[in-house]
Structure 1
Amino acid sequence: MQRMTSADDFDRTPGEKSSNESDPIEDYRKDFDAAEKKVAGEIDPGVRALVVAVAIVILLGSLTLPHSGIANGWEVLVNSNEARAESIALPSRLFVGFAVVFGVIVSMLALVTRRWILAWIALAGTAVSIVLGMLAIWSRQTPPPGVVASGPGIGLIIGWLVVIVLTFHWLKVVWGRTALQMAAEEERRAAAAEAERRGDWNVG
């Protein structure tokens, strides 16, 4: 059966769409915007995910090793009697805390959820941990006058090296996602310009 012609069809000028007809260019633009938002919010670490996972395990293991003297990383974190006996300074406690929060917890959440914001937080936190780790090693090598303190232990050194590795890999992941987002944004602008050009051509 043929569709009955309505008064709106007579009133419409040639090329004008009725209210129940969708604009394919507008639909394409909405789909592209949705895809761009999805790309912007997610990461794809690829093979780096395995490297980060192994680094997290090693970082956890380093906390069970001597941080300085008889105090291991966990004892430094909770400021136990062993840590106080070794005169553990504030940089060491801050380093271990940052390593646990950003190197372990946030990094694991970023791997599981693949959220870009968590990867960025892990990058920022592990980058700060590098500085804190350097200060922790320095504080164990140069104790205050009159304080007898052991030097940096194997756990502290391994933990510091691991957060350097984590920072490098999170930097590559975040930068790769940023480059992909920039490419998607450029493609969206090109598509919008092409749609505008076609619209001007149709009007002409």
Structure 2
Amino acid sequence: MKAAENSQDFDQFRDDLEAVERKIAGEIDPGVRAMVVAVSVFALLFSLVLPHAGKARGFDVILYDVAAQTEHIGLPSRVFEWFVVVFGIGFSLLALITRRWVLAWIAVAGSAIASVFGVLSIWHRNTPGLGNYQGAGPGIGLILATVAVMVLTFHWIRVVWSRTTVHLAAEEQRRIAAAAAEEADRRKLFGDN
């Protein structure tokens, strides 16, 4: 009789426990990596005011203004800078502030793509254009942004793949509760007390 009462008590709180577990599973705990991510985001912000190539700064590339057109900034650089702003800066800040797992995954996916475009942008600046046009090579802003977004990608991957002690404890409690419920059902079915 006591086992049946315990089972009913547990069933009464099962929905609450599952809701708490879902909430915990949707959160991240970057720990000390949060500082590295924050410094990387700051480096990305700083890279926007540094020369991207020649006299064109990161902001000029994003806006594709006269300075960017004069320096013949290509599509890879423009895509790279937009990925840096949207994912490297925007979603990374949102993920750090809200600690949401989904936002961190979006930040890591966008940062990974930005890393590829960053390397492609550096390569593009070192390759002669049509008619052997030789423009300015990659600037310090482009190189800093590429390195920062690679560091950001690495650390976000480590954060989203790590399981916190809270996640592990919640999973263990769920396993224990499921085993107890299964044992209670077995005893009820076979009449064991």
Band of TM-score, shorter chain: 0.7 to 0.9
Q: Please list every run of 5 or more consecutive structure 2 residues that lacks an aligned counterpart in the other structure.
A: none
In the TM superposition, what is the alpha-carbon distance from 1:193 to its structure 2 partner? 2.7
In the TM superposition, what is the alpha-carbon distance from 1:30 to its structure 2 partner? 2.5
In the TM superposition, what is the alpha-carbon distance from 1:49 to its structure 2 partner? 1.1
Is residue 164 from structure 1 mapped to residue 150 from structure 2 by the alignment? Answer: yes
CA contact (8 A) 2:29 2:164 kept: no
Describe how 1:123-202 pairs up with structure 2 within 5 A: 123-146=108-131, 147-177=133-163, 181=167, 184-185=170-171, 187-202=173-188
Matched residue SS, 1:23: helix
Q: 2:36 aligns with which of 51, 54, 57?
A: 51
Is residue 86 from structure 1 mapped to residue 96 from structure 2 by the alignment? Answer: no
Question: Could you say which structure has the larger radius of gyration?
Answer: 1
In the aligned structure 1, how far is the partner of 2:50 from the partner of 2:3?
75
Distance 1:168 1:79, change over 3 A: same
Q: Relative to total residues, which structure has the larger helix share, 1 or 2?
A: 2
Q: Give 4+ residue runs of structure 1 displaced > 3 Å after superposition.
A: 14-18, 177-187
Q: 1:76 aligns with which of 52, 57, 61?
A: 61
CA contact (8 A) 2:7 2:184 kept: no
In the TM superposition, what is the alpha-carbon distance from 1:109 to its structure 2 partner? 0.6
Q: CA RMSD in A?
A: 2.5
Total equivalences in the alignment: 189
CA contact (8 A) 1:40 1:177 kept: no
TM-score where L is the length of structure 2: 0.88
Matched residue SS, 1:142: coil
Report sequence identity in percent: 53
